[in-house]
Amino acid sequence: MNDFRIISLFPSSSDILFDLNLEKQLVAVSHECLDKNYYNDLPRVTSACININVSQLKIDSQVRNKLKKNEPIYKIDINLIKKLNPTHILTQDTCDVCAVSSNTIKVTLKNTRCELPKNIKIISLNGKTFRGICENVLLVGKIFNKKNEADEMVCLATKKWNSLKKSKNQKKLLMLEWTNPPFSPGHWIPEQIELAGFECLFSSPGDASKTLTWEEVKNKNPDYIGVICCGYNLNENKKFAENLYNLSLIKNVKAIKKENVYFFDSKSFFSKPSLKIVEGAELICNILGNNNYTYRCMRS
Protein backbone atom coordinates (compact mmCIF):
# COMPACT_ATOMS: atom_id res chain seq x y z
CA MET A 1 0.00 0.00 0.00
CA ASN A 2 1.31 3.42 -0.94
CA ASP A 3 1.90 5.86 1.88
CA PHE A 4 -0.44 8.53 0.54
CA ARG A 5 -1.54 11.20 2.96
CA ILE A 6 -4.40 13.02 1.28
CA ILE A 7 -6.25 16.19 2.23
CA SER A 8 -9.51 16.78 0.40
CA LEU A 9 -10.81 20.33 0.28
CA PHE A 10 -14.24 19.71 -1.18
CA PRO A 11 -16.91 17.04 -0.72
CA SER A 12 -16.81 15.57 -4.23
CA SER A 13 -13.14 14.67 -4.07
CA SER A 14 -13.73 13.14 -0.64
CA ASP A 15 -16.56 11.05 -2.08
CA ILE A 16 -14.36 9.88 -4.96
CA LEU A 17 -11.64 8.81 -2.52
CA PHE A 18 -14.14 6.76 -0.52
CA ASP A 19 -15.60 5.21 -3.66
CA LEU A 20 -12.08 4.15 -4.64
CA ASN A 21 -11.42 2.67 -1.17
CA LEU A 22 -8.84 5.30 -0.33
CA GLU A 23 -10.46 6.44 2.91
CA LYS A 24 -7.53 5.19 5.01
CA GLN A 25 -5.22 7.54 3.14
CA LEU A 26 -7.49 10.53 3.82
CA VAL A 27 -6.04 12.57 6.72
CA ALA A 28 -8.26 15.68 6.63
CA VAL A 29 -11.25 17.16 4.84
CA SER A 30 -13.04 20.47 4.40
CA HIS A 31 -15.72 21.83 6.72
CA GLU A 32 -18.28 21.01 3.99
CA CYS A 33 -17.69 17.24 4.21
CA LEU A 34 -20.62 16.62 6.52
CA ASP A 35 -21.47 12.92 6.18
CA LYS A 36 -20.89 11.69 9.73
CA ASN A 37 -20.60 8.07 8.61
CA TYR A 38 -17.50 8.92 6.63
CA TYR A 39 -15.89 12.08 7.91
CA ASN A 40 -16.78 12.41 11.59
CA ASP A 41 -13.34 11.47 12.92
CA LEU A 42 -11.28 13.48 10.43
CA PRO A 43 -9.95 16.97 11.17
CA ARG A 44 -11.27 19.93 9.18
CA VAL A 45 -8.69 22.21 7.64
CA THR A 46 -11.11 24.83 6.29
CA SER A 47 -13.86 27.06 7.66
CA ALA A 48 -16.30 29.58 6.23
CA CYS A 49 -15.71 33.32 6.44
CA ILE A 50 -19.42 34.03 6.09
CA ASN A 51 -22.44 33.17 8.19
CA ILE A 52 -24.24 30.33 6.40
CA ASN A 53 -27.04 30.06 8.97
CA VAL A 54 -29.03 32.95 7.51
CA SER A 55 -31.42 33.47 4.60
CA GLN A 56 -30.44 32.93 0.98
CA LEU A 57 -30.62 36.67 0.36
CA LYS A 58 -28.20 37.40 3.21
CA ILE A 59 -25.82 34.64 2.12
CA ASP A 60 -25.84 36.04 -1.42
CA SER A 61 -25.17 39.53 -0.09
CA GLN A 62 -22.23 38.33 2.04
CA VAL A 63 -20.68 36.45 -0.89
CA ARG A 64 -21.05 39.42 -3.24
CA ASN A 65 -19.44 41.75 -0.69
CA LYS A 66 -16.52 39.37 -0.18
CA LEU A 67 -15.95 38.99 -3.91
CA LYS A 68 -16.22 42.74 -4.46
CA LYS A 69 -13.55 43.37 -1.84
CA ASN A 70 -11.46 40.45 -3.10
CA GLU A 71 -11.72 38.84 0.32
CA PRO A 72 -11.74 35.08 0.91
CA ILE A 73 -14.99 33.20 1.44
CA TYR A 74 -13.10 30.37 3.11
CA LYS A 75 -10.20 30.14 5.53
CA ILE A 76 -7.53 27.45 5.43
CA ASP A 77 -5.74 26.23 8.57
CA ILE A 78 -2.18 26.26 7.26
CA ASN A 79 -0.68 25.19 10.58
CA LEU A 80 -2.88 22.11 10.72
CA ILE A 81 -2.04 21.27 7.11
CA LYS A 82 1.67 21.44 7.88
CA LYS A 83 1.19 19.33 10.98
CA LEU A 84 -0.65 16.64 8.99
CA ASN A 85 2.19 16.54 6.44
CA PRO A 86 0.10 15.60 3.39
CA THR A 87 1.53 14.17 0.20
CA HIS A 88 -1.46 15.41 -1.84
CA ILE A 89 -4.12 18.11 -1.58
CA LEU A 90 -7.25 17.72 -3.68
CA THR A 91 -9.21 20.86 -4.53
CA GLN A 92 -11.26 22.32 -7.39
CA ASP A 93 -11.42 25.26 -9.77
CA THR A 94 -15.04 24.80 -10.87
CA CYS A 95 -16.51 27.37 -8.50
CA ASP A 96 -14.78 29.72 -6.05
CA VAL A 97 -18.00 30.08 -4.08
CA CYS A 98 -18.65 26.36 -3.60
CA ALA A 99 -15.29 25.23 -2.21
CA VAL A 100 -11.66 26.13 -1.77
CA SER A 101 -10.09 26.55 -5.21
CA SER A 102 -6.51 25.85 -6.18
CA ASN A 103 -6.06 29.61 -6.55
CA THR A 104 -6.99 30.04 -2.90
CA ILE A 105 -4.55 27.31 -1.94
CA LYS A 106 -1.67 28.88 -3.85
CA VAL A 107 -2.34 32.36 -2.48
CA THR A 108 -2.62 31.08 1.06
CA LEU A 109 0.51 28.97 0.85
CA LYS A 110 2.58 31.52 -1.01
CA ASN A 111 4.48 32.86 1.98
CA THR A 112 4.88 29.51 3.74
CA ARG A 113 5.65 27.21 0.82
CA CYS A 114 9.25 26.71 1.87
CA GLU A 115 8.04 25.29 5.20
CA LEU A 116 5.82 22.68 3.57
CA PRO A 117 6.98 19.27 2.36
CA LYS A 118 8.63 19.69 -1.03
CA ASN A 119 6.79 16.70 -2.48
CA ILE A 120 3.30 18.03 -1.72
CA LYS A 121 1.12 17.89 -4.84
CA ILE A 122 -1.95 20.06 -5.38
CA ILE A 123 -4.47 18.35 -7.65
CA SER A 124 -7.26 20.51 -9.06
CA LEU A 125 -10.40 18.76 -10.31
CA ASN A 126 -12.22 20.95 -12.82
CA GLY A 127 -15.10 18.87 -14.20
CA LYS A 128 -17.97 21.09 -15.36
CA THR A 129 -19.82 18.46 -17.40
CA PHE A 130 -20.61 14.77 -17.05
CA ARG A 131 -17.56 13.91 -19.16
CA GLY A 132 -15.40 16.26 -17.10
CA ILE A 133 -16.53 14.60 -13.89
CA CYS A 134 -15.69 11.19 -15.34
CA GLU A 135 -12.24 12.50 -16.20
CA ASN A 136 -11.84 13.66 -12.59
CA VAL A 137 -12.54 10.14 -11.33
CA LEU A 138 -10.11 8.64 -13.82
CA LEU A 139 -7.42 11.14 -12.85
CA VAL A 140 -7.76 10.37 -9.14
CA GLY A 141 -7.68 6.65 -9.91
CA LYS A 142 -4.51 7.04 -11.95
CA ILE A 143 -2.70 9.15 -9.35
CA PHE A 144 -3.53 6.88 -6.43
CA ASN A 145 -3.07 3.53 -8.21
CA LYS A 146 -6.79 2.76 -8.45
CA LYS A 147 -7.06 2.82 -12.22
CA ASN A 148 -9.11 -0.36 -12.57
CA GLU A 149 -11.60 0.71 -9.92
CA ALA A 150 -11.94 4.17 -11.49
CA ASP A 151 -12.42 2.68 -14.96
CA GLU A 152 -15.19 0.45 -13.66
CA MET A 153 -16.92 3.33 -11.87
CA VAL A 154 -16.88 5.50 -14.98
CA CYS A 155 -17.99 2.66 -17.25
CA LEU A 156 -21.03 1.87 -15.08
CA ALA A 157 -21.95 5.54 -14.71
CA THR A 158 -21.66 6.14 -18.46
CA LYS A 159 -23.87 3.18 -19.29
CA LYS A 160 -26.52 4.38 -16.85
CA TRP A 161 -26.23 7.98 -18.12
CA ASN A 162 -26.70 6.95 -21.74
CA SER A 163 -29.63 4.68 -20.89
CA LEU A 164 -31.55 7.62 -19.43
CA LYS A 165 -31.72 9.65 -22.64
CA LYS A 166 -35.29 10.61 -23.51
CA SER A 167 -36.72 12.04 -26.73
CA LYS A 168 -37.44 15.77 -26.70
CA ASN A 169 -40.84 16.59 -25.22
CA GLN A 170 -41.05 20.30 -26.18
CA LYS A 171 -41.49 21.26 -22.52
CA LYS A 172 -39.42 24.00 -20.87
CA LEU A 173 -37.77 23.26 -17.54
CA LEU A 174 -36.11 25.78 -15.27
CA MET A 175 -33.93 24.33 -12.53
CA LEU A 176 -33.13 27.02 -9.97
CA GLU A 177 -29.81 26.77 -8.14
CA TRP A 178 -30.89 29.62 -5.87
CA THR A 179 -34.23 31.36 -5.38
CA ASN A 180 -33.43 34.61 -3.60
CA PRO A 181 -32.19 35.96 -5.94
CA PRO A 182 -32.90 33.32 -8.59
CA PHE A 183 -29.91 31.66 -10.27
CA SER A 184 -29.84 29.71 -13.53
CA PRO A 185 -28.70 26.06 -13.67
CA GLY A 186 -24.98 25.72 -14.29
CA HIS A 187 -22.29 23.32 -15.44
CA TRP A 188 -23.64 19.73 -15.66
CA ILE A 189 -27.25 20.56 -14.75
CA PRO A 190 -28.24 21.60 -18.32
CA GLU A 191 -27.02 18.15 -19.41
CA GLN A 192 -29.24 16.50 -16.80
CA ILE A 193 -32.20 18.52 -18.06
CA GLU A 194 -31.57 17.80 -21.74
CA LEU A 195 -31.03 14.11 -21.01
CA ALA A 196 -34.61 14.02 -19.69
CA GLY A 197 -35.89 15.53 -22.95
CA PHE A 198 -36.63 19.03 -21.68
CA GLU A 199 -35.54 22.38 -23.04
CA CYS A 200 -33.12 23.90 -20.53
CA LEU A 201 -33.79 27.56 -19.87
CA PHE A 202 -31.03 30.17 -19.55
CA SER A 203 -28.05 27.79 -19.77
CA SER A 204 -26.10 25.39 -21.94
CA PRO A 205 -23.90 22.50 -20.72
CA GLY A 206 -20.73 23.77 -19.06
CA ASP A 207 -22.04 27.29 -18.44
CA ALA A 208 -21.60 28.88 -15.02
CA SER A 209 -24.73 29.61 -13.03
CA LYS A 210 -25.80 33.26 -13.26
CA THR A 211 -28.19 35.62 -11.53
CA LEU A 212 -31.67 35.94 -13.05
CA THR A 213 -34.63 38.21 -12.44
CA TRP A 214 -38.18 37.02 -11.89
CA GLU A 215 -39.14 39.17 -14.88
CA GLU A 216 -36.86 37.01 -17.05
CA VAL A 217 -38.42 33.87 -15.60
CA LYS A 218 -41.91 35.20 -16.35
CA ASN A 219 -40.96 35.97 -19.94
CA LYS A 220 -39.55 32.47 -20.51
CA ASN A 221 -42.72 30.97 -18.98
CA PRO A 222 -41.36 27.52 -17.99
CA ASP A 223 -43.67 24.51 -18.00
CA TYR A 224 -41.84 23.08 -15.00
CA ILE A 225 -39.65 24.49 -12.24
CA GLY A 226 -37.26 22.42 -10.18
CA VAL A 227 -35.75 23.83 -6.99
CA ILE A 228 -32.17 22.65 -6.41
CA CYS A 229 -30.73 25.44 -4.27
CA CYS A 230 -27.01 24.74 -4.02
CA GLY A 231 -25.94 22.83 -0.92
CA TYR A 232 -29.46 22.35 0.49
CA ASN A 233 -31.21 19.07 1.19
CA LEU A 234 -34.67 17.82 0.24
CA ASN A 235 -36.67 19.39 3.08
CA GLU A 236 -34.89 22.72 2.79
CA ASN A 237 -35.56 22.92 -0.92
CA LYS A 238 -39.20 22.00 -0.32
CA LYS A 239 -39.55 25.19 1.73
CA PHE A 240 -37.89 27.26 -0.99
CA ALA A 241 -40.26 25.71 -3.54
CA GLU A 242 -43.30 26.58 -1.44
CA ASN A 243 -42.19 30.21 -1.34
CA LEU A 244 -42.39 30.47 -5.13
CA TYR A 245 -46.19 30.40 -4.94
CA ASN A 246 -46.07 33.67 -2.98
CA LEU A 247 -44.26 35.62 -5.72
CA SER A 248 -46.81 37.77 -7.52
CA LEU A 249 -44.50 38.44 -10.48
CA ILE A 250 -44.56 34.79 -11.59
CA LYS A 251 -48.11 33.89 -10.55
CA ASN A 252 -49.16 33.41 -14.20
CA VAL A 253 -46.16 31.29 -15.21
CA LYS A 254 -47.31 27.86 -16.44
CA ALA A 255 -45.32 25.96 -13.81
CA ILE A 256 -46.92 28.00 -11.03
CA LYS A 257 -50.48 27.94 -12.38
CA LYS A 258 -50.39 24.17 -12.97
CA GLU A 259 -48.48 23.52 -9.73
CA ASN A 260 -45.62 21.88 -11.60
CA VAL A 261 -42.99 22.94 -9.09
CA TYR A 262 -40.64 20.23 -7.83
CA PHE A 263 -37.95 20.08 -5.16
CA PHE A 264 -34.88 17.88 -4.86
CA ASP A 265 -31.98 16.97 -2.60
CA SER A 266 -29.46 19.21 -4.30
CA LYS A 267 -26.69 18.44 -1.84
CA SER A 268 -26.70 14.79 -2.91
CA PHE A 269 -27.60 14.84 -6.60
CA PHE A 270 -27.04 18.25 -8.18
CA SER A 271 -24.63 20.57 -6.36
CA LYS A 272 -21.51 18.40 -6.38
CA PRO A 273 -19.39 17.42 -9.39
CA SER A 274 -19.61 13.71 -8.64
CA LEU A 275 -21.08 10.68 -10.38
CA LYS A 276 -24.14 11.17 -8.15
CA ILE A 277 -25.37 13.53 -10.86
CA VAL A 278 -26.42 10.39 -12.76
CA GLU A 279 -28.97 9.75 -10.01
CA GLY A 280 -30.03 13.38 -10.24
CA ALA A 281 -30.65 13.00 -13.97
CA GLU A 282 -32.64 9.86 -13.26
CA LEU A 283 -34.82 11.79 -10.82
CA ILE A 284 -35.63 14.36 -13.50
CA CYS A 285 -36.34 11.65 -16.07
CA ASN A 286 -38.64 9.65 -13.82
CA ILE A 287 -40.46 12.36 -11.89
CA LEU A 288 -41.16 15.47 -13.92
CA GLY A 289 -44.23 15.21 -16.08
CA ASN A 290 -45.30 11.86 -14.63
CA ASN A 291 -47.62 13.27 -11.96
CA ASN A 292 -45.33 11.94 -9.26
CA TYR A 293 -46.36 13.72 -6.08
CA THR A 294 -43.42 12.62 -3.92
CA TYR A 295 -41.28 15.59 -4.93
CA ARG A 296 -44.00 17.83 -6.29
CA CYS A 297 -44.72 21.00 -4.35
CA MET A 298 -48.43 21.80 -4.34
CA ARG A 299 -49.93 25.14 -3.44
CA SER A 300 -50.82 25.21 0.25
Q: Where are the domains of the chain?
A: 6-128, 167-297
**246-293, pLDDT tens digit by residue?**
999 999 999 999 999 999 999 899 998 999 999 999 999 887 756 666
> CATH topology for 6-128?
Rossmann fold (3.40.50)
Note the pTM of the prediction, 2 decimals.
Answer: 0.86
> Which percentage of the chain shows pLDDT scores above 90?
57
Q: Of the candidates 249, 262, 185, which has an alpha carbon nearest to the alpha carbon of residue 223?
A: 262
> CATH topology for 167-297?
Rossmann fold (3.40.50)
**190-223, pLDDT tens digit by residue?**
999 999 999 999 999 999 999 999 999 999 999 9
Same fold, 6-128 and 167-297: yes
Average pLDDT over residues 102-106: 58
Which residues are registered as beta bridge partners of 183? 178, 211
In the predicted structure, residue 141 carries a pLDDT above the cut 70: yes
Between vectors from CA 186 to CA 185 and to CA 190, what angle results, nearest 5°? 70
